[in-house]
Amino acid sequence: MTIAWDKTLLVGDVGGTNARFAIAHMIDGKPVLEHHESFKGADHPTFLSGVKAFIDGCTVKPTSGVIAVAGPVTDGAIDLTNSPWRVSEEELGTLGLNPVRLINDFEALAWGAPVVPRDELASLGGPEEGDPDSAIAVLGPGTGFGVSALVRDFHGREMAMPSEGGHACFAPGDPVEDEILRILRRRYDRVSIERLICGPGLLNMHRALAEIDGRETHIDDPAQITEEAMADPRSACGATLARFCAILGAVAGDIALTTGARGGVYIAGGIAPRILPFLQASPFRERFERKGRFMDYMKAIPTHVILHKHAALLGAARVAFAEAR
């Protein structure tokens, strides 16, 4: 990617729950972020007002930028999948941003993953390094479930693939998951990965497992499930979170096969860092590698959790400086 060195650009990462913004500079060939600000989407009635509030607080006003958003971007506009917010690049232009670009949030993470410092990655198994000339995949649960990949060639060129892979069908891996799917089909005509592997999905899974076990549950907050699971892995909540991690591993493996991600698989999103010790001790890696004849192929792929809180902003900054050349 061609980069500019003398620009002050806006970068953003807007999800279903939270919005993060920063000012980006390029120093020694690497994106550097400053003037971070985070707030809940509910704090502002519209996407545009949230962006304006951030710009108003900047001493030096950005004149262009890139904002990553949780959902598909169509003709320069976004209607967030898990939020009432919607906006277009044309509307953002009224704030003095020209040019401004909207990209998918996991597309930004795919650009950002390679420049996340090594000490901000946590291993989930496999070798430390993957094939440097192969694709990487980035995926993970938060308010929803995001998927992207960064394709590489032997000339060092890269291209991020926006995706809505979280809405692909859920594929059960054992009889218990067959039953989970059967139960969820009573509520959803079509059960996607996101119906299970995200915050609300964790609650769906907990209730389904309770029904399978013939017990009642009165939990209605996914955070309570993770808190109780971390405190007592042998509890019912511990069983739910272990199943969540196992299915996440299976899905990550499927995506690695689909994208040819021999360069590595990175787990992003808000949930994985919060449950990291549990996730590392879970069946995640076993289910990741359990791909029949392709087990040796899977064993050679590293898996990491991205701990950097602003990895999507780093990716948006790489795109912004390429656009500003």
For residue range 266-308, what is the model confidence (pLDDT) as tens digits? 999 889 999 999 999 999 999 999 999 999 999 999 999 999 9
What share of the chain has pLDDT > 90, as a percent? Answer: 73
pLDDT exceeds cutoff 80 at 106: yes
Report the pLDDT value the prediction gives residue 4, as an integer from 0 to 100. 41
Least confident among 78-87, 98-107, 116-125: 78-87
Q: Token digits for 167?
A: 């809405």
Top pLDDT among 16 and 49 is at 49
Q: Token digits for 248?
A: 């996440």
Top pLDDT among 81 and 179 is at 179
Most confident option among 87-101, 151-165, 200-214: 200-214
Report the pLDDT value the prediction gives residue 324, as an integer from 0 to 100. 67
The structure's pTM equals 0.90
The four Cα atoms 108, 113, 116, 117 give a dihedral, to 10 degrees, of 180
Cβ neighbors of 272 (< 8 A, separation 6 or more) are 140, 141, 279, 305, 306
pLDDT exceeds cutoff 90 at 30: no
Q: What is the pLDDT averaged over residues 193-204?
A: 97
Of 168, 163, 141, 167, the C-alpha closest to 150 is 163
pLDDT exceeds cutoff 70 at 224: yes
Distance CA 206, CA 195 (A): 12
Q: What's the length of the chain?
A: 325
Report the pLDDT value the prediction gives residue 195, as an integer from 0 to 100. 97
**3 state SS of 12:** strand
Question: What is the overall mean pLDDT for the chain?
Answer: 92
267 membership: H or E segment, kind and range: strand 264-267
Check if the beta carbon of residue 228 is closer than 8 Å to that of residue 96.
Answer: no
Tens digits of residue pLDDT in 120-142: 999 999 999 999 999 999 999 99
Q: How confident is the model at residue 83 (pLDDT cuts 50, 70, 90)?
A: confident
